[in-house]
Structure 1
């Protein structure tokens, strides 16, 4: 039997177990930094495979180390990463493995990611003697809430790692199709809170007030010009105000208006520029209209930029597995995130 055929046979043998694992995790979703049950299952599985296992990284993170039997001093180490947390969403699907926890659901595929990586660990462990390098299996908590990856890095998870691979399930693709692309693929994600201060009063006498709602409306429009007039079409970015809160009555002009939004971009330089300009535009517009604006920016994830050499390794492997026609390397792979 050829190696590709042997690999496919190994995967086929594991499919029932992968499906059962994914459905079990789906039934028992856990939110960011609460993945106690999930991480316990992961750790036990990795120990059963005979890997060196670390737990409690960034609270609930798990790392399993597989040392290749053919490794020599200075051998390369590759990390493969999956996320474990669920979302605060109530599941309405009528399925046998529906979430058993009200208000929590694996709606982003992390149950699948975790199950896939456990299967990969199983398959590669069977090939331990043939491996001329080492593999770290990284199970990350709190992907849905910014904060899971950075503390794992600070705890030393990436020490000695020469490259890292991850995946994300996507319902836009049919089964057997793979998307992979070098360079920027996932945008940064920063949160913005803008608090506009005006002067309240009666709606019938607006001349005695400084209307923060009107100021907020102008700020929303002005922020969009940062995209349409200050951003190159070859360097895409998004600024969205998704929530506005102001006022307590239909005939009263309030003292304040609060806006919540997000900014996404694909490069570090563009991200820094847009965050600076958001602050300048919001405060400038408010000042020009007689009010003021407090700007709070909560740093989120930086852009995900895929290394060219590592991407080519993954692309080549994908082509060998599913064929050139089912490997997407177009701009459609890029995403401004969720």
Structure 2
């Protein structure tokens, strides 16, 4: 599906396979990972469990992702942290339902939820070092069934993004303290589930010079740049926890063709002239690395 560019990633790796088969590797081995389920955060982990990094043992791993914010013909890379740890949570706030005309006879979970949402934001603004990038987003809220009735429960769902492992470990406890304090003070109860998904994706800096060299070989001077990390999540992080890794982004933006919408946007599309660039970069990087 052309929603985040994974069809293009598959195409580019097929292109790399063709190039490598036509230009035989003189030493070493190259593995090509056509990995499913990146969006669920589980694909890389399962492939590692199946032994994809063994037989023969992988010494380094490289991946790319399309970037519709960067012009076709350009590559960006982050020095260390590339993508944030991506974790998810669900909260159920329980009160007791009743008639809207008699709120004193109920425990209304909707204002409880409003207070919880407001207070959770203060974890980032007042309990976390402002120099450590952290995002806490409530992505959905569901509650109530009639305009003249007080609901019995409200459910919330969201995500936490962090670049610092210590901050990541602290977020669950901090959130539960807030949720517990707000609901108990207003006479409610709660259920809280926190799901650790993908860790921080970190580049091995020793692999970056070869990427810069490769990009300049294929796309020319001034086509490579170092950029800040993204707070998006990426399951390639599981690979980089096992072996030295490098993750970079390939520009696919072409405003003249009307291809300028961000990832996951309903109108997202990419400049297909970037496909041979991606395939060639992957193949040439492998050859340069092995040399």
User: Into which bin does the TM-score normalised by the smaller protein fall?
Assistant: 0.7 to 0.9
Match of 2:83 among 183, 186, 191: 186
Output the CA distance in 2 between the equivalents of 1:276 and 1:312.
40
- Unaligned residue ranges in structure 1 (runs of 5+): 1-104
TM-fit CA distance, 1:168? 0.4
Output the CA distance in 2 between the equivalents of 1:185 and 1:198.
42
RMSD: 1.7
Output the CA distance in 2 between the equivalents of 1:269 and 1:320.
40
Larger relative contact order (Cα-Cα within 8 Å, sequence gap ≥ 6): 2
Output the CA distance in 2 between the equivalents of 1:335 and 1:197.
32
Output the CA distance in 2 between the equivalents of 1:129 and 1:181.
28
Cα 1:316–1:334 shift into 2, 3 Å: farther
How many equivalent residue pairs?
Answer: 232
TM-fit CA distance, 1:192? 1.0
Match of 2:151 among 245, 248, 254: 254
Contact 2:92 2:190 in 1 (8 A): yes
Output the CA distance in 1 between the equivalents of 2:231 and 2:216.
22
Match of 1:329 among 209, 226, 231: 226
TM-fit CA distance, 1:266? 1.5
Output the CA distance in 2 between the equivalents of 1:315 and 1:226.
39
Output the CA distance in 2 between the equivalents of 1:133 and 1:200.
67
Aligned pair 1:287/2:184, yes or no? Answer: yes
TM-fit CA distance, 1:329? 0.5
Match of 2:172 among 270, 275, 280: 275
Rg bigger for which structure?
1
Cα 1:275–1:316 shift into 2, 3 Å: farther
Aligned pair 1:110/2:6, yes or no? Answer: yes
| Aligned partner of residue 65 in structure 2, secondary structure | coil
| Aligned partner of residue 173 in structure 1, secondary structure | strand
Name the TM-score, length of structure 1 as normaliser: 0.65
Match of 1:298 among 195, 201, 218: 195
TM-fit CA distance, 1:324? 4.6
Cα 1:121–1:288 shift into 2, 3 Å: same
The worse-fitting range, judged by mean Cα deviation, of 320-329 and 290-299 is 320-329
Aligned to 2:104: 207
Q: Deviations over 1:222-270 (max 9, x none)?
A: 1111111122232111111111111111111111111111111123222
TM-fit CA distance, 1:275? 2.3
TM-fit CA distance, 1:307? 1.1
Output the CA distance in 2 between the equivalents of 1:134 and 1:241.
45
Aligned pair 1:319/2:216, yes or no? Answer: yes
Within a 5 Å distance, the mapping from 1:206-225 to structure 2 comes to 206-225=103-122
Aligned to 1:143: 38
Aligned to 2:28: 133
Output the CA distance in 2 between the equivalents of 1:204 and 1:198.
16
- Unaligned residue ranges in structure 2 (runs of 5+): 234-263, 265-291
Aligned to 2:123: 226
Output the CA distance in 2 between the equivalents of 1:315 and 1:266.
24
Q: Deviations over 1:316-336 (max 9, x none)?
A: 3223333452212021x5242
Output the CA distance in 1 between the equivalents of 2:132 and 2:20.
39
Q: Deviations over 1:130-155 (max 9, x none)?
A: 3x221111110111223211110001
Name the TM-score, length of structure 2 as normaliser: 0.75
Cα 1:259–1:306 shift into 2, 3 Å: same
Cα 1:265–1:289 shift into 2, 3 Å: same
